[in-house]
Amino acid sequence: MSVRGYFVAFSKCTVLLFLRMLLLVPAGLPVRSQGDSQSDNKVMDNITVRQGETVFLRCAQGDVVTHTAWLNRSSILYAGEDKWSVDPRVSLVTLNQEEFTIKIENVDMTDEGQYVCAVQTSSRPRTTSVHILVQVPPKIINLSRDFVVNEGSNVTLMCQAGGKPEPSISWKLISSSAHLASDDEYLEIPSISRQKAGTYECTAVNDIDTDVQTVDITVNYVPSVSEGRDVGVTLGQRGVLECEADAVPAADFEWYKEDRRIFNGFDGMEIMNTGSLSKLTFFNVSDGDYGNYTCVALNTLGSSNTSFLLFVVIEPTSSTLLQGPRAVQDGSGGAMGVHLHTCLLFIVFLPFLLRF
């Protein structure tokens, strides 16, 4: 080994011996401020730093210093200008008669704890200690995934987060008119309805920051169709029956005349489905088209239906005014035609009656 190697090894042994003698303080011994006549040990105020920031550890020197070191628990970070820590985030900033300062970059939770500056002066040794507190912004680490559920099922959403100080958790439904909120990491939704489908927002908050993530819930339910509206069409004209269904998943449509299913292009009729709406179109209504029709909406959970009446409408002419309207309607349609026919006859013969 070279002379320089022996010198370095001797210096490290000397530092270690100095630190061991300096830090062999009986457990439970009270720590007094530097101004206390019985001790030169000093406790600085805690240093609070956010995760990812840089912290500076400053130690006043004073007098004639022979040895100085910064320690983290049982590990030596720096002994004078010699770096003992293998952590690249730790570096020396200042070392002179007035100040011994090191810095730790990109602080993490593992850096939290007590740090000691040990100084051997010409008179006697002294220590300065400081405790680093690391604050961590909230981070949602366990969140329920998006999912699909049938209406009436019981649902539990989970949102767990880490951070320091410990974050508070809250839930709210943000994409629906239904008001639903909770101040717990678990959100219970018993017998979920279609109105409670949508996007649920989990928020984790502490003194440092906020983390927000969302969960989408899709609720499947049986189709429900709007009440059918009867349509009157003149012979030879165009007519349309419209059927609208609310369903998740989206409904398929079937059309029937009486008990016979209608397919696209059947007898000149066209079926067009667009989203939740189905249209049955008659391009040239004939006598055989008049009658009762049924629209059926179906999905994997069930079906629903509604009925329509396509009835004839006669355009009024001079001849039909005397004959009365002819229509294919429900039971009340015939009686209405007879009454209207009677009224028209009364109006026509009224001038003759008034002569007598």
- Which pLDDT tens digit goes with each residue over 168-189? 999 999 987 777 788 889 999 9
- pLDDT tens profile 193-208: 999 999 999 999 999 9
Rounded Cα gap, residues 338 and 352, in angstroms: 22
Tell the residue number behind the tokens 């989990």, with chain if given: 202
Tokens of 334: 């015939």
**What pLDDT sits at residue 15?**
45
- Residue 304 burial by Cβ neighbours in a 10 Å radius (0-12, 13-18, 19+): middle
Cβ atoms of 241 and 265 closer than 8 Å: no
- pLDDT tens profile 18-74: 444 444 333 332 333 333 334 467 787 899 999 999 999 999 887 677 889 999 977
- pLDDT tens profile 102-113: 999 999 999 999
Rounded Cα gap, residues 96 and 80, in angstroms: 10
Cβ atoms of 8 and 14 closer than 8 Å: no
**What pLDDT sits at residue 77?**
96
Tokens of 138: 């909230």
pTM, full prediction: 0.67
Tell me the three state secondary structure of residue 281. Answer: strand
Mean per-residue pLDDT, 224-253? 95
Tokens of 98: 């007035």
Structural domains of the chain sorted by starting position, each given as residue range(s) with its CATH number in brackets: 41-135 (2.60.40.10), 144-221 (2.60.40.10), 226-312 (2.60.40.10)
**What pLDDT sits at residue 212?**
97
Tokens of 38: 């019985």
Cβ atoms of 200 and 157 closer than 8 Å: yes
